Copies of this chain bind each other. A is one copy, B any other.
Amino acid sequence: MTSLASLESALDYQFRDGALLEQAVTHRSHSAHHNERLEFLGDSVLNFVVAALLFKRFSKIDEGDLSRSRANLVKQSSLADIAQRLSLSQYLRLGEGELKSGGFRRPSILADAVEAIFGAVFLDSGFESAQKVIARQYAPILVNIDPKTLGKDPKTLLQELLQGRKIALPVYTVIATHGAAHNQLFEVECSIAKLEITVTAGGASRRAAEQAAATLAIAAVEALAPPKGSRGGARARKSTQLSLPVAVPQETQ
């Protein structure tokens, strides 16, 4: 385990009581003095601070968009990203079994430790400090978010995009399934009659395939008529589209 001093630098916060930080990076597999109570506290201070940041930054959006955006910002994968920026895996204290099975890479363990650290800062020196530490980690993320779309799934985004242009809803059709029962690949076609768009994508479930197809369809719609204020948006979208893991784009007919 690397010295916790460098983790304090990354957090830009120096603990008065170093034992709190030590506890925050201790998984229950390591010892009885583990981080789960701190995680409980940290989860709630995090939820509140992110709520307050969103509330203040976006004064016009409604509580539905605030809630969805918050949920997206505090979900496990977002916290695991923060853990990665902090190089948290090298500070984790794990039991033998977790060490061997690669627990230091597991998103749930990393996310829980991030929350526990926020809880530890709150205990160490109060709300203002915790707020500062959390806001610092979220600053680069908050710069670029659009609370109207953040955390919405592609099918919802496609539906809203079409409704905004008064175009009839897309039709999703399963055109093939491959493989055995518990290892199936679904191929789904999404078509938007009025725009003569038909795209096809694959996924491990019908839902996953539909979402992948919706992502391709959004790209196709925006390629036909880029959203206001974007230049060359169609080209940029195209490359995103091609990077989809299981998607099989099909040319517009």
Q: Is the interface of A mostly helix, strand, loop or mixed?
A: helix
Residue A63 is within 8 A (CB to CB) of chain B in the complex: yes
Residue A62 is within 8 A (CB to CB) of chain B in the complex: yes
Pairwise interchain contact A41-B36, C-beta atoms closer than 8 A: no
Count class of interface residues, chain A: 20 to 34
Among the 9-residue stretches A1-9, A42-50, A103-111, A204-212, the one with 4 or more Cβ atoms under 8 Å from chain B is A42-50
A: residues with CB less than 8 A from B are 36-37, 39-41, 43-45, 47-48, 51-52, 55, 62-63, 66-67, 70, 122, 127-128, 131
A106 to chain B, nearest CB (A): 18
Cβ-closest 8 pairs across A and B: A44-B51, A48-B48, A40-B63, A44-B48, A36-B63, A127-B127, A40-B66, A41-B55
A109 to chain B, nearest CB (A): 15
Contacts of A131 in B (CB 8 A): 127
Pairwise interchain contact B62-A37, C-beta atoms closer than 8 A: yes
Pairwise interchain contact B44-A52, C-beta atoms closer than 8 A: yes
Pairwise interchain contact A44-B47, C-beta atoms closer than 8 A: yes
Given A47-B47, A127-B127, A52–B62 Cβ distance below 8 Å?
no
18 A–B contacts from the bound complex (CB under 8 Å): A36-B63, A37-B55, A37-B62, A37-B63, A40-B55, A40-B63, A41-B51, A41-B52, A43-B51, A44-B51, A44-B52, A45-B48, A45-B52, A47-B47, A48-B48, A127-B127, A127-B128, A127-B131
